[in-house]
Amino acid sequence: MTQILVQSLSGLASAASLFLVAAGLTVIFGVTRIVNFAHGSLYMLGAYIAYSLVTWLPRGHFPFWGGVLAAALAVGLIGVVVEVLVLRRIYKAPELFQLLATFGVVLVVQDVALAVWGAQDLLGPRAPGLRGAVDVMGERFPLYDLVLIAIGGAILLLLWLLFQRSRFGVLVRAATADREMLGALGVNQRRLFTGVFFLGSALAGLAGALQLPRESVNLHMDMAIISEAFVVVVVGGLGSLPGAALAALLIGQMQAFGIVLFPRITLVLVFLVMAVVLVLRPYGLMGRANAAAIVLPPEPPLRALSPKGRAVALAALLLAIALPPFLGDYALVVLSELAIAVLFAASLHFIMGPGGMASFGHAAYFGAGAYAAALLVKHFAAPMELGLLAAPFAAGLLGLVFGWFCVRLSGVYAAMLTLAFAQIAWSTAFQWVEVTGGDNGILGVWPSAWAVPKLAYAYLSLALCLGGALLLRRAIFAPLGYAMRAQRDSPLRAEAIGIDAFRVRWLAFAIAAGFAGLAGAVFAFGKGSVFPTAMAIPRSVDALLMVLLGGVQTVMGPLIGALAYTGLHEQLLRVTQFWRAALGAIIIGLVLFFPRGLAGMGPRA
């Protein structure tokens, strides 16, 4: 009994800090519709700045809490800077495009933090007077965690008062409900957005600063918190503050009791919760349908390439075919990787662009293909050809299963459900050691003898990947592609003419998964080994970046995005230690100057 009580108090303490982060994220999303990937970075900065202030100031109650508050305010200001310099310029850009910019910010902040605070974990001082523990029915519970629970409750109350009783709060709620209407009523949206960004960032900073007495400050804090914060926000319902509070409570308690009952479930628990909630309640616990529906003007119809464009594309293709014999071994490897990236990006683009569904978990299908091929080789000693053949079907099958749930949802909810499934797939690969080898992966997945020479393998990858990408392109202009675009732009009219939107989306999802799986299999044989990283979040993010960078609503977008992103990544990784900051800065620059993506800068093809 005592155990249960103390364990639930532990859960409450985690819930309190989760809530602070999630509250900021949900308010920012509600008003600006920005999926702020950089929220975790702001949290990390809060912790680092608080560390610097608190260790620099003399010890005592006032300097400690003053330092924490000052850190929160400082992070709020950093948030404003990011908003004014970057995000404000791209509010009109397509949905999710801001995600790209915030990801650029994440990369830059990582290197800045490394440069300023160094690589070592920093252990901040504990809160003065709160080092000890209180006796809870014979068990000890840290005093500071009790204070944290109280702070979480107090912030919830303050935010509730702010939103219910102040003009700012009314405007925030109005903007969350209907941004266009608020604009039509003459409210200065710029000031409102900046204000909201300040509030949300300061909350993230506060949450980070408050962790100082609990954990060490380190460079992995940003990524550790952001996925959980997203889960809380989505489970609670996007833009809903009470929802975030409820979800934080739920996740905190699940975490606390889950590890007692199933100690090995830690990797996937929060994502399991999210998947269950989203399947049962498509808009989260307290979200409303209209909060997620983003009214976009229908996209103008896609046109096939002009004769001139066709000539350029053909020339590029011929070049890709003619060039390999003149390249060195390493250049051939890079060429294969580019081809894989192109197919991977094209498969994601297939559902994102014409399909109108975002996926944050596309790596699951890439990884499924890679693992299908590798498992065949490992357990059945299958030749490479069989692996390549089976991979798209395995991944497509997985796409059918996961897609059946995901395509019912829309917008960010659908994207987050794909993420949840991807994490479930990833943790399966990670923990099912007997079959997948766990994180030690599957080794010895090398190509058949004829494809071992780099030149042969480069041609094989080119043929499969460019062939796959061309097939996908063909599908966009086939009846399926028209149906996809119809249900995206006008669900009602599409239904009226007899298009079954669910089936179209489901089929598209599975096709995209299949082609991602093919890319994964080519990848596996190119690398000779498969690890769970093949289906981890960073790979999904890579795909998303490539598609967004290239431009979602263009047919050539994924191709150009994949080439640009992979090329940049490969070059920067080799030439500079600060490749993350460089890549981040370039991404931000591209977002600012080409808000329709790289392929969108010319006449639309």
Partner 1 sequence: MSVTRRAAIHAFGLAAPAIAHAQAEAIRIGEINSYTSQPAFLAPYRNAWALALDEVNAAGGIHGRRLETIFRDDAGRPEDAVRHAGELISNERVHLLAGGFLSNVGLALGDFANQNRRLFVASEPLTDALVWARGNPFTFRLRPSTYMQCAMLVEEAAKLPARRWATVAPNYEYGQSAVRWFKELLTRAVPGTSFVAEQFPALGRIDAGATVQALAGANPEAIFNVTFGADLTNFVRQGSTRGLFERRRVVSMLTGEPEYLDPLGDEAPENWIVSGYPAADINNPHHSRFRAAYTARFREAPKLGSVVAYDTVTAITTMLKAAGSTGTDAMVQTMRGLKFPTAFGENEVEFRAIDHQSTLGAYIGRTALRGNRGVMVDWRYADGRAYLPSDEVVRTLRPQG
- Residues 133-172 binding partner 1 (CB under 8 A) are 133, 139-142, 144-145
Q: Between residue 194 and residue 253, which ones bind partner 1 under the rule CB under 8 A?
A: 214-216, 218-220, 224
Question: CA–CA separation, 207 vs 41, rounded Å?
Answer: 12
Element holding 141 (H helix, E strand): strand 139-142
Residues binding partner 1: what is the number (CB under 8 A)? 73
Contact (Cβ atoms closer than 8 angstroms) between residue 38 and residue 106: yes
Question: CA–CA separation, 413 vs 424, rounded Å?
Answer: 17
Minimum Å distance from CB 530 to partner 1?
9
Minimum Å distance from CB 11 to partner 1?
7
Write each residue from 253 to 272 as x if it is in contact with partner 1 (CB under 8 A), else as -, in one continuous string: --xx--xx--xx-xx-----
Contacts of 404 (CB under 8 A, 6+ apart): 506
Question: CA–CA separation, 314 vs 317, rounded Å?
Answer: 5
Question: CA–CA separation, 404 vs 396, rounded Å?
Answer: 12
The tokens describing 515, both together, are: 């082609």
Is 188 an interacting residue with respect to partner 1 (CB under 8 A)?
Answer: no
Secondary structure of residue 377 in the 3-state scheme:
helix
- Find tokens 């995000």 and name the residue: 87
For partner 1, the binding residue among 421, 430, 459, 506 (CB under 8 A) is 430
Minimum Å distance from CB 539 to partner 1?
9
Secondary structure of residue 131 in the 3-state scheme:
coil
Measure the N-to-C terminal CA separation of the chain; round to a whole number of Å.
66
Minimum Å distance from CB 299 to partner 1?
35
Write each residue from 275 to 314 as x if it is in contact with partner 1 (CB under 8 A), else as -, in one continuous string: ----------------------------------------
Question: CA–CA separation, 187 vs 170, rounded Å?
Answer: 12
For partner 1, the binding residue among 443, 449, 463, 478 (CB under 8 A) is 443
For partner 1, the binding residue among 534, 544, 598, 599 (CB under 8 A) is 534
Q: Between residue 498 and residue 517, which ones bind partner 1 under the rule CB under 8 A?
A: none
Contact (Cβ atoms closer than 8 angstroms) between residue 80 and residue 198: yes
Minimum Å distance from CB 269 to partner 1?
9
For partner 1, the binding residue among 49, 203, 337, 591 (CB under 8 A) is 337
- CB under 8 A: which stretch of 27-35, 127-135, 376-384, 590-598 binds partner 1? 127-135
Is 439 an interacting residue with respect to partner 1 (CB under 8 A)?
Answer: yes
Q: Is the CB of 83 or the CB of 337 nearer to partner 1? A: 337
Is 456 an interacting residue with respect to partner 1 (CB under 8 A)?
Answer: no
- CB under 8 A: which stretch of 6-14, 237-245, 307-315, 500-508 binds partner 1? 6-14
- Find tokens 């889960």 and name the residue: 231
Is 132 an interacting residue with respect to partner 1 (CB under 8 A)?
Answer: yes
**How many CA atoms within 13 Å lie on the side-chain side of 363?**
28
Q: Between residue 464 and residue 483, which ones bind partner 1 under the rule CB under 8 A?
A: none
Is 441 an interacting residue with respect to partner 1 (CB under 8 A)?
Answer: yes
- CB under 8 A: which stretch of 349-357, 393-401, 440-448, 471-479 binds partner 1? 440-448
The bridge status of strand 442-443 relative to strand 133-136 is unpaired
Q: Is the CB of 4 or the CB of 85 nearer to partner 1? A: 4
Q: What are phi and psi of 261, to 5 degrees?
A: -80, -45
- CB under 8 A: which stretch of 152-160, 372-380, 457-465, 576-584 binds partner 1? 576-584
Q: Is the CB of 27 or the CB of 376 nearer to partner 1? A: 376
Is 379 an interacting residue with respect to partner 1 (CB under 8 A)?
Answer: no
Q: Is the CB of 383 or the CB of 438 nearer to partner 1? A: 438
Is 329 an interacting residue with respect to partner 1 (CB under 8 A)?
Answer: yes
Q: Between residue 514 and residue 533, which ones bind partner 1 under the rule CB under 8 A?
A: 523, 527-529, 531, 533
The tokens describing 353, both together, are: 């662009």
Contacts of 398 (CB under 8 A, 6+ apart): 364, 365, 368, 425, 513, 517
> Is the dihedral angle over the CA atoms 362, 364, 369, 374 positive or is it negative?
positive
Q: Between residue 91 and residue 120, which ones bind partner 1 under the rule CB under 8 A?
A: 114, 119-120
- Find tokens 């009790």 and name the residue: 146
Angstrom CA distances, 28 to 66, 161, 192, 194, 560, stand at 25, 17, 11, 10, 31
- CB under 8 A: which stretch of 84-92, 377-385, 392-400, 442-450 binds partner 1? 442-450
**How many CA atoms within 13 Å lie on the side-chain side of 30?**
34
For partner 1, the binding residue among 61, 62, 129, 131 (CB under 8 A) is 131
Is 570 an interacting residue with respect to partner 1 (CB under 8 A)?
Answer: yes
Question: CA–CA separation, 369 vs 387, rounded Å?
Answer: 9
For partner 1, the binding residue among 157, 306, 575, 593 (CB under 8 A) is 575
Minimum Å distance from CB 6 to partner 1?
6
Is 56 an interacting residue with respect to partner 1 (CB under 8 A)?
Answer: no
Secondary structure of residue 38 in the 3-state scheme:
coil
For partner 1, the binding residue among 446, 477, 482, 594 (CB under 8 A) is 446
> Is the dihedral angle over the CA atoms 333, 336, 341, 342 positive or is it negative?
positive
Question: CA–CA separation, 394 vs 390, rounded Å?
Answer: 6
